[in-house]
């Protein structure tokens, strides 16, 4: 799970990036790194400089699209060219700051709305899921279902363990999988999100469980990177291989 150990699996604790702020700072730094042409490439970028420029621009574009930010690429290109040419900006510092603040407010409002929608969907999912055969609900609201029963030892709160896992959203979208990487993860129980901290000590070596984690026991309102939005209920398939 490439988001759990800080940029590792998605069961560990990580913080989301503020796309507007980071992208705006990056674009600012871009002016000092590369020359940008206002005309589009007619052919595939060939030189190292062209490839680097394209790669940076593509990543920034992906971030804007992912966060549903409306960008005028022509104006943005002109601004970068103005900075490269040491021209005076066409907007004052105050005007640019106000524009950034307005965009950030819109992004935060959209994210809040997204979070409320995810929270409602998660509650509805868990309410229906707890009625299914074999699903056990704990006092915290976490749910799990035993798939395979193991007979090995149980980890403690500070144990190092090795496990295979797969994480999905309630819509089935996979955001992380050690199975896909064909490599189990080894980590300390104390490093993981609250839902994992609760469920791992209940498991035995050889156990394979499906675990349903409410948002407040996962990444809460912040979400995690771009894979997990705010207030997302998460589903993990956890196979406890070894207590080290």
Q: Are residues 207 and 157 in the same domain?
A: yes
The DSSP annotation for 196-221 comes to HHHHGGG--TT-EEEEEE-GGGTTTT
pLDDT band at 41 (very low <50, low <70, confident <90, very high): low
- Asked about 52 being catalytic, the answer comes back as no
Q: Are residues 35 and 64 in the same domain?
A: yes
Q: Are residues 73 and 134 in the same domain?
A: no
Q: Are residues 170 and 191 in the same domain?
A: yes
Per-residue model confidence as pLDDT tens digits over 43-94: 898 899 999 989 988 988 888 887 778 889 899 999 999 999 999 999 999 9
Helices (DSSP H) in the chain: which residue ranges?
19-30, 48-66, 73-84, 93-129, 178-181, 194-199
Q: Are residues 71 and 143 in the same domain?
A: no
- Asked about 170 being catalytic, the answer comes back as no
Range of the domain at 69: 19-110
**Is the confidence at residue 229, as pLDDT, over 50?**
yes
| pTM (predicted TM-score) | 0.71
Q: Are residues 32 and 77 in the same domain?
A: yes
Q: Are residues 235 and 127 in the same domain?
A: yes
Give the separation between CA 155 and CA 210, rounded to whole angstroms.
18
Catalytic residue among 11, 175, 187, 212: 175
User: What is the model's pLDDT at position 226?
Assistant: 79
Domain contains 156: yes
- Asked about 56 being catalytic, the answer comes back as no
Domain contains 14: no
Query: What average pLDDT does the segment 165-171 reach?
Result: 98
Q: Which CATH number covers residue 181?
A: 3.10.50.40
Catalytic residue among 161, 193, 213, 228: 193
Residue (of 235, 191, 214) closest to 13 by Cα position: 191
Q: Are residues 77 and 52 in the same domain?
A: yes
- Asked about 193 being catalytic, the answer comes back as yes
- Asked about 236 being catalytic, the answer comes back as yes
Domain contains 7: no
Per-residue model confidence as pLDDT tens digits over 91-138: 999 999 999 999 889 888 988 999 999 999 999 999 999 999 999 999
- Asked about 165 being catalytic, the answer comes back as yes
Catalytic residue among 20, 60, 80, 176: 176
Catalytic residue among 207, 219, 235, 238: 219
Q: Are residues 124 and 182 in the same domain?
A: yes
């Amino acid at each position: 799970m490439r988001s759990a150990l800080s940029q590792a699996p998605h069961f560990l604790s990580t913080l989301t990036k503020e796309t507007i702020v980071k992208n705006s700072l990056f674009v600012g730094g871009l002016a000092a790194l590369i020359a940008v042409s206002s005309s589009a490439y007619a052919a595939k970028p060939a030189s190292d400089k062209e490839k680097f420029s394209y790669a940076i621009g593509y990543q920034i574009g992906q971030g804007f699209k992912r966060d549903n930010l409306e960008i005028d690429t022509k104006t943005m290109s002109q601004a970068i060219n103005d900075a490269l040419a040491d021209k005076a900006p066409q907007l004052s510092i105050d005007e640019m700051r106000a524009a950034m603040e307005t965009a950030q407010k819109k992004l935060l409002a959209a994210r809040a709305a997204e979070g409320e929608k995810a929270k409602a969907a998660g509650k509805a999912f868990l309410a229906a899921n707890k009625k299914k055969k074999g699903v056990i609900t704990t006092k915290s609201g976490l749910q799990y279902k035993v798939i395979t029963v193991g007979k090995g030892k149980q980890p403690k709160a500070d144990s190092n363990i090795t496990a295979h896992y797969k994480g999905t959203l309630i819509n089935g979208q996979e955001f992380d999988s050690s199975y896909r990487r064909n490599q189990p993860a080894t980590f300390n129980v104390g490093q993981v999100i609250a839902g994992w901290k609760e469920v791992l000590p209940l498991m035995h070596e050889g156990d394979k469980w499906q675990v349903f984690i409410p948002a407040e026991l996962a990444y809460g309102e912040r979400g995690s990177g771009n894979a997990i939005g705010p207030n997302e209920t998460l589903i993990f398939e956890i196979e406890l291989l070894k207590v080290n």
